Chains A and B, each alone.
Chain A
């Protein structure tokens, strides 16, 4: 029972990471109907930037916010320069562009920062809160930061004019132009935000999994699965899906060992999709023929 509680809480911590990356994926999907396979590598690259800042002596939280800002800018630039030229190309061609981006970022990170695994600092104390044995301070802090970020994003989209414009541009670009929204820039902003969210996720998970160029690939897969589980067009679903997947991964892993953990968790998710393809909260699209 004790162990189960620990697994669940630990799972919520990783779930928060999955939820953030899943949200980033859904944001870009809603606007473009494309899954950004390079999302993980963007987060990884941003985490390396944070690491460099900390190494250079910048205090942790200053480095954190600076990294988020840089990641935002990077996202905007990538959308305008690399993604925009192929916006009318066939879907699979755009997928290849994303794969290219993934490969380039991964390789650049390895080249600039080397492939050796690096430890990454956590801003939270190493002693567990109240000396409890269920959850570390970092895990708790990670859940906290994740929730704050998700709440900010929610408030931004729901209650600000820019957030409204971005939602409109994602749902109906043609009508958005008719009210004067610069749809192209809304897309770029979406990428920027997604990159920023990914950066937060990367920085929060790095202390646990250690910093190396391939650190986000497993996470991206789980985030992808979480987004689909929640319903690929539902941001709320993606967040919930992320937490579910996090807990599932931990519990399943403790039951059957870490060897086949990846396989079994994926099988479970695929199973859900076969039963209910639109995910838990997605809209079942009825298209007129």
Chain B
């Protein structure tokens, strides 16, 4: 089921190059607001890749990944606001904090399976805004009002606007993180992750250190989503507890399933869905936009239950069959 092959074919490499080139040209041909939206979509793609690693490849269902997104966002905001740390340093910092947080959460989670893990993570996702609003932390978190971040200035030599500069910063992070993920998933650890998902007992019998792999996966997954959170905070220039409600966690799991489980390109499809479909739904019906969004979800699940990536794979397979005749 994993969509990672050992070596990319020449056709695939060319395709990726074309895609990358298009991504680089895009911010120059669309409006500033669209660039902002696209940047956010890229941010979500990173977050979704993180969640997909945990849920798609490793089979641990998390309905509360918004919590790690929030942690990453707040780490970035607090470092920038209280300690004057430059924005690009906050990204690895957020990653490190979330890596630890995810690993630590993953340890007790080892005892929980399927439904129980889903509840525990869901509880985490629900509780996070309350924790962020807690009066005891207010000095750091800014309480209900949150923290406002100053938008980073693009360097002189780039000649880019703020929005375009941020777009490329996120794009570079995305490419780097995707390459790392691709390497990780097609290697030994990736195979161990999938083995644990499909046949946990057999995997253990073959010497896979199930506990370590599962906790590590949680950590890495949280790290990715935390980095996305930090980038998101920088792009939106604002963090507040109510930006990170359980709705965010639900959007993330929706994005992963609609995009395609256990699929790296799925992260991009899913991100585009959760970023743009709500707008489309809003345009169709101002009165009940979420009802339209729900209808979209239903349609996607009826037509492509394995997500867009799964649909693409099946369609590609059928095309190849027809060409071979």
Direct A/B contact, Cβ within 8 angstroms: yes
Q: Is the CB of B61 within 8 A of A267?
A: no
Q: A104-B294, A273-B116 are in contact. Are A99 and B250 (CB under 8 A)?
A: yes
A151 within 8 A of B: no
| Chain B residue with Cβ nearest A276 | B111
Q: How far is the CB of A28 from chain B (nearest CB, A)?
A: 13
Q: How far is the CB of A77 from chain B (nearest CB, A)?
A: 15
Q: Is the CB of A270 within 8 A of B123?
A: yes
Distance A262 CA – B289 CA, assembled complex (angstroms): 29
Q: B297: which of A92, A99, A274 is its contact (CB, 8 Å)?
A: A99
Q: Is the CB of B130 within 8 A of A90?
A: no
B141 within 8 A of A: no
Q: Mark B283-301, 1 if CB is under 8 A from A, else 0.
A: 0000111110111011011
Q: Is the CB of B290 within 8 A of A274?
A: no
Q: Is the CB of B305 within 8 A of A93?
A: yes
Q: Is the CB of B112 within 8 A of A263?
A: no
Q: Tell me the residues in window 249-276 of chain A with beta carbons closer than 8 Å to chain B beta carbons.
A: 259-260, 262-263, 266-267, 269-270, 273-274
Distance A248 CA – B273 CA, assembled complex (angstroms): 40
A-binding segment of B154-162, B234-242, B254-262: B254-262
Distance A86 CA – B294 CA, assembled complex (angstroms): 15
B298 / chain A contacts, CB cutoff of 8 Å: 82, 97, 100-101, 104
Distance A85 CA – B298 CA, assembled complex (angstroms): 10
A152 within 8 A of B: no
B113 within 8 A of A: yes
| Chain B residue with Cβ nearest A285 | B113
A108 / chain B contacts, CB cutoff of 8 Å: 288, 291
Instruction: Name the prevailing secondary structure of the A interface residues.
Output: helix
A121 / chain B contacts, CB cutoff of 8 Å: none
Distance A106 CA – B201 CA, assembled complex (angstroms): 41
Q: Mark A150-170, 1 if CB is under 8 A from B, else 0.
A: 000000000000000000000
A120 within 8 A of B: no
Q: A262: which of B55, B130, B257 is its contact (CB, 8 Å)?
A: B130
B306 / chain A contacts, CB cutoff of 8 Å: 90, 93
Q: Is the CB of B288 within 8 A of A85?
A: no
A96 within 8 A of B: yes
Q: Is the CB of A92 within 8 A of B108?
A: no
| Chain B residue with Cβ nearest A108 | B291
A262 / chain B contacts, CB cutoff of 8 Å: 126-127, 130
Q: Is the CB of B127 within 8 A of A100?
A: no
A203 within 8 A of B: no
Distance A102 CA – B115 CA, assembled complex (angstroms): 18
B127 / chain A contacts, CB cutoff of 8 Å: 262-263, 266-267
B293 / chain A contacts, CB cutoff of 8 Å: 103, 107
Distance A90 CA – B261 CA, assembled complex (angstroms): 10
**Interface residue ranges, B against A (CB under 8 Å):** 55, 61, 108, 111-113, 115-116, 118-120, 122-123, 126-127, 130-131, 133-135, 201-202, 250, 253-254, 256-258, 261, 287-291, 293-295, 297-298, 300-302, 305-307
**Interface residue ranges, A against B (CB under 8 Å):** 35, 82, 85-86, 89-90, 92-97, 99-104, 106-108, 110-111, 221, 224-225, 228, 232, 259-260, 262-263, 266-267, 269-270, 273-274, 277, 289
Top 10 A-B pairs, shortest CB-CB distance: A104-B294, A100-B297, A89-B305, A107-B291, A107-B290, A111-B288, A103-B294, A266-B123, A100-B294, A263-B127
